[in-house]
């Protein structure tokens, strides 16, 4: 059985709204970041489902987009233990005090951050959705992200200024049938376990992004799916056999409540996908286990992370949409949200 005893709380959010270093791993998913990539097909087994049931959620935080914030589960935060200023992974040698003294709205609580990592996309391929183009192909953005000035807003939180420290690793494809039955986070962790086990790439140098096809619901808390209102979430989990794994869940974003406004440079499909993905990726980098960087000020920002502080909305007609910034990322134009910059005390797209 999965361990219990988690500290759980729901936090309202605005509408739409480590320095532990592990050596880079190599495995069956490793390949040149710029090479044309064909996803490796992985089929989860009963053993993967069992590993998911026996795993322990370290942290999970959902992002509700423009959907109603009147529902308590619209933003769910799960922490393994109450915040006490210390990380179970140990203090960051020689850097903790320096980062704590940085002024701003985000505070540091001693947990690990991600100084360098590969992103690995996991696509649930179904009938009519058999290529990354189904989600607008998020891979070019992930390649551009690590080479851009935009990524350097995270420098102040992770303690490095190195370029190209976040890269795109290889991807995986999961044969999948869209169903009226909602997926749960248990299901997703079984998928993540299958891919991470096949690759051997775990720990803080690897982040898995699970892309769910259109028409398929995902539910964080079984039994209360109707009130699980979110656009995406990031999480970390301890598996008994393969250890610590970071992942995000990326439901199809080009839907009401998660879409960016019409008329963005790349169209709503591409820009909605990348806007939500960027949000989860930067939050995974700066707060992978929920005990690193987040806001402890009173009011609506309590518990918010680097991405939550900079989500804006706009009314078009009678509907709410995300109102991202138009940002140059490695020479390409994307409509994505900025990130909170403690040094500037503002939402910015650079250091």
Q: What is the pLDDT of residues 8-44, one digit of tens each?
A: 222 222 222 233 322 333 344 443 445 557 899 999 9
Structure tokens at 273: 């996908």
Contact predicate 112/18, CB 8 Å? yes
Contact predicate 76/23, CB 8 Å? no
User: How much is the pLDDT for 318?
Assistant: 87
Contact predicate 305/286, CB 8 Å? yes
Band (350; pLDDT cuts 50, 70, 90): confident
Residue 228 confidence (pLDDT) above 90: no
Please report, for the chain, the start and end positions of each structural domain, with discontinuous segments joined by +: 7-348
Q: Quick one: which of 172, 227, 170, 222 has its CA closest to 25?
A: 170
Contact predicate 42/210, CB 8 Å? no
User: How much is the pLDDT for 221?
Assistant: 74
Burial class (CB in 10 A: 0-12, 13-18, 19+), 49: middle
Torsion angles phi and psi, residue 284, rounded to 5: -65, -40
Partnered with residue 304 across adjacent β-strands are none
Residue 263 confidence (pLDDT) above 80: yes
Structure tokens at 255: 């839907």
Please, what's the b/e burial string for 294-331 (b: 16 or more CB within 10 A of its CB; e: otherwise)? bbeeeeebebbbbbbbbbebeeeeeebbbbbeebebbe
């Amino acid at each position: 059985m999965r361990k219990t005893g988690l500290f759980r709380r729901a936090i309202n959010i605005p509408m739409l709204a480590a320095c532990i270093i592990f050596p880079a791993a190599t495995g069956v998913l490793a390949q040149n970041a710029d090479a044309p990539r064909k996803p490796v097909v992985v089929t989860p087994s009963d053993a993967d489902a069992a590993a998911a049931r026996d795993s322990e959620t370290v942290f999970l935080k959902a992002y509700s987009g423009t959907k109603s914030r009147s529902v308590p589960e619209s933003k769910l935060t799960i922490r393994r233990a109450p915040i006490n200023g210390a990380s179970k992974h140990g203090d960051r040698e020689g850097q903790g005090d320096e980062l704590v003294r940085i002024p701003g709205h985000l505070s540091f609580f001693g947990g690990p951050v991600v100084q360098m990592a590969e992103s690995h996309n996991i696509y649930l391929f179904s009938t009519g959705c058999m290529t990354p183009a189904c989600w607008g192909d998020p891979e070019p953005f992930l390649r551009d992200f690590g080479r851009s000035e935009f990524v350097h807003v995270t420098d102040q939180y992770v303690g490095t200024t190195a370029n190209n420290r976040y890269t795109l690793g290889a991807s995986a494809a999961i044969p999948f049938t869209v169903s009226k039955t909602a997926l749960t986070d248990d299901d997703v962790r079984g998928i993540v376990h299958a891919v991470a086990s096949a690759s051997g790439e775990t720990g803080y140098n690897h982040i898995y992004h699970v892309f769910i096809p259109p028409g398929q619901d995902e539910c964080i808390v079984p039994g209360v799916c109707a009130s699980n209102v979110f656009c995406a979430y990031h999480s970390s989990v301890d598996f008994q056999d393969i250890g610590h794994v970071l992942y995000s869940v990326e439901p199809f974003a080009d839907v009401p409540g998660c879409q960016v406004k019409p008329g963005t440079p790349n169209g709503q499909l591409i820009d909605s996908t990348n806007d939500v993905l960027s949000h989860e990726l930067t939050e995974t980098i700066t707060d992978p286990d929920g005990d690193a960087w987040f806001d402890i000020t009173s009011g609506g920002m309590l518990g918010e992370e680097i991405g939550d502080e900079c989500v804006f909305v706009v009314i078009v007609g009678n509907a709410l949409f995300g109102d991202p910034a138009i940002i140059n990322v490695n020479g390409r134009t994307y409509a994505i949200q900025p990130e909170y910059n403690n040094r500037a005390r503002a939402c910015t797209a650079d250091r």
